[in-house]
Structure 1
Amino acid sequence: MPEIAFDDVEAVLFDLDGTLVDSAPDLRAALNELLAHDNLGPVPLDAVKTFIGHGVRKLVERAYAFCGHPLDGPQLDAAHERMLPIYGQHLTNLTVAMPGALDAMEALHKVGKKLAVVTNKPATHTGAVLDAYGFTPLLDFWIGGDGEVAKKPAPDMLLFALEKLGIAPAHAVMIGDSGADVISAHAGNIRAIIVEGGYTPDPHKLDADAVIPTMDALPALLGLAPVSA
C-alpha cells in the first residue's frame, strides 16, 4: 500500500458500528429476540458481526437467511419493522466504546477538526448511542441511514455531511471498519482509513488508504501528537 499523507485533512467522518462502538453483542441480543418469535436462532456473535454494515433491514435479511429461513418483499419488510423497537431496547446494554475512540475524537476536536458520524444505523438509534457514549458534544454533524439520502456504500451520505460541514472531499477522510466505508469514500473522492478490530476479518484487503490498529493511532496519522503524549 503506497504511503498517503493526511496532514491536509480538515474534516473527519466516522462510521459508528465497529468503528466508534462495538454494538455487535446488543445487535445479537435483539436479533435473537426477533428470531425467537419465529422459532429460529439463536445466531452466534461471530455470525452477527458479518451481518453488520448495510443497515438494519440487511442485518435482518442476513440473519433469517443464516437460519435457513430467507425472507424478501413484504415478509422482510415486516420483520424489519419488528426489529426496530426490539433493538431500541438493546442499544446500550452490552455495547461498549471501541478502544481509543473517544480520546482520539477529543484530540481532533481540540485542534479544530470538523467531526461527523456517517452511519447506516437508523437516526433514532444513532442519536441514543452517540449520547450514551459521550460522542455527541464532539460532533459538528451526524447522519443516520433511514433518511432520503442513499446509504453507504453509495457516497451520498458522506458528501451530504461534508456539504453541511463546508469542507471539500479533497480535505476529508472517512474512518471505518468495512468495505462499505472504503467504497463510499472512494466513490466520493474521499480518502479512507480502516481501523482494525471491527467487523471485517481482514481489513488489509479493503483497499483503504491506510489501516490503523486502534483509534489511538488516528491523531498521529493526521499529523497531531499521539493521544498518549
Structure 2
Amino acid sequence: MRRNGKPAGSLAVLFDLDGTLIDSVADLTAAVNTVLVAHGAQPLDVAAVRGMVGNGVAKLVQRAFQARGRPLDAAGRATATDAMMAAYRDGLTAQTALMAGAPTVLAQLRAMGAELAVVTNKPQDATEAILNHFGLSKAFGAVVGSRPGLASKPAPDMLFAALDAIGASAETAVMVGDSAVDAEAARAAGLPCVLVRGGYARQALETLGADAIVDDLSGLADAIAGLRMAAATG
C-alpha cells in the first residue's frame, strides 16, 4: 500500500529545532535581555537562558522575568513576548549556528529514504527564516512551527500536523529532540524518541524515557536504524 505516493512503512523523522539542529541560545539571550533591560531588570547570562528554552517564546519570557523577581500578568507577558520577538527577528541568526553534523545527518537520512520534518515551538516565520538562512529548507517536507490554533509541544498536535503534511504514519515515525518537551510530545503521539545530548534539557536525558540517546548528531542515523530493526524483530 502507498500513502500520498509513498510506500507504506516509509521512515519519517521529525526534528526539533533549537538545541537539536541549531544552537540559538545566544540570540535568544540577546533578545530576552533587550526586554528585561527595557523593564529595568538586569540581563541574564547565556547559561541561565539555556535552561529556559523549549516551551516557546512566551514561556521563555515568563521564566526570564521570574528569574529577575518580576513575574508578569497575562497582559504583561503578551506585551513582553511581542517585544522579545521583535528584538529576536532583528538578530535572528547573528550568533546562531548549526549543531555539529546537522547537514550530514539530514543527507544520511534522506539517503535512507526518510521523509523529514521540523516540529518546533519557535514561531513559524522565524523557523522558516532560520532554515532558509542555513540552506536547509529543501531537506524538509514540512515545517511546523508555533501558530494560532495549533497546540504547541508537549501536546502531540504539531507532530500529527507534520506527519499529515508529509503523508507519513506514526507507526513508522521517530521524533528527534533534546529535551523533556520533545520526549513528552513523542510519547503523547505514540512515537519513539531519540534525544541528542548538548541541547537545552533541564534534566538528565536518562530520566526522560527516550528510546535512544546519542552524544551528537553523528550517531543519529545508526540509532534510528537500530530502533527500526528492533521494532521489525520485536
TM-score (norm: length of structure 2): 0.89
For residue 146 of structure 2, give the secondary structure of its aligned residue in structure 1: coil
Q: CA separation in 2, counterparts of 1:147 and 1:105?
A: 29
Q: CA separation in 2, counterparts of 1:142 and 1:127?
A: 7
Q: CA separation in 2, counterparts of 1:147 and 1:217?
A: 35
Q: CA separation in 2, counterparts of 1:130 and 1:203?
A: 26
Deviation (angstroms), 1:9: 6.3
- What residue in structure 1 maps to residue 52 of structure 2? 51
Deviation (angstroms), 1:161: 0.7
Deviates more, 1:35-44 or 1:187-196: 35-44
CA RMSD of aligned residues (A): 1.3
Provide structure 1 residue ranges, at least 5 long, that are not aligned to the other structure: 1-7, 225-229
Q: CA separation in 1, counterparts of 2:58 and 2:147?
A: 10
Deviation (angstroms), 1:168: 1.2
Aligned positions of 1:1-229 closer than 5 A = 10-201=11-202, 202-223=204-225
Q: CA separation in 2, counterparts of 1:158 and 1:79?
A: 28
The letter for the 1-side match of 2:207 is: K
Q: CA separation in 2, counterparts of 1:45 and 1:216?
A: 25
For residue 99 of structure 1, give the secondary structure of its aligned residue in structure 2: coil
For residue 119 of structure 1, give the secondary structure of its aligned residue in structure 2: strand
Deviation (angstroms), 1:49: 0.8
The letter for the 1-side match of 2:94 is: N
Aligned length: 217
Is the CA contact 1:102–1:134 (under 8 Å) kept in the aligned structure 2?
no
Deviation (angstroms), 1:90: 1.8
Deviations, residues 161-180 of structure 1 (Å, cap 9, x unaligned) = 11111111110000000101
Is the CA contact 2:25–2:46 (under 8 Å) kept in the aligned structure 1?
yes
Provide structure 2 residue ranges, at least 5 long, that are not aligned to the other structure: 1-8, 227-234
Deviation (angstroms), 1:146: 2.2
Is the CA contact 1:152–1:181 (under 8 Å) kept in the aligned structure 2?
yes
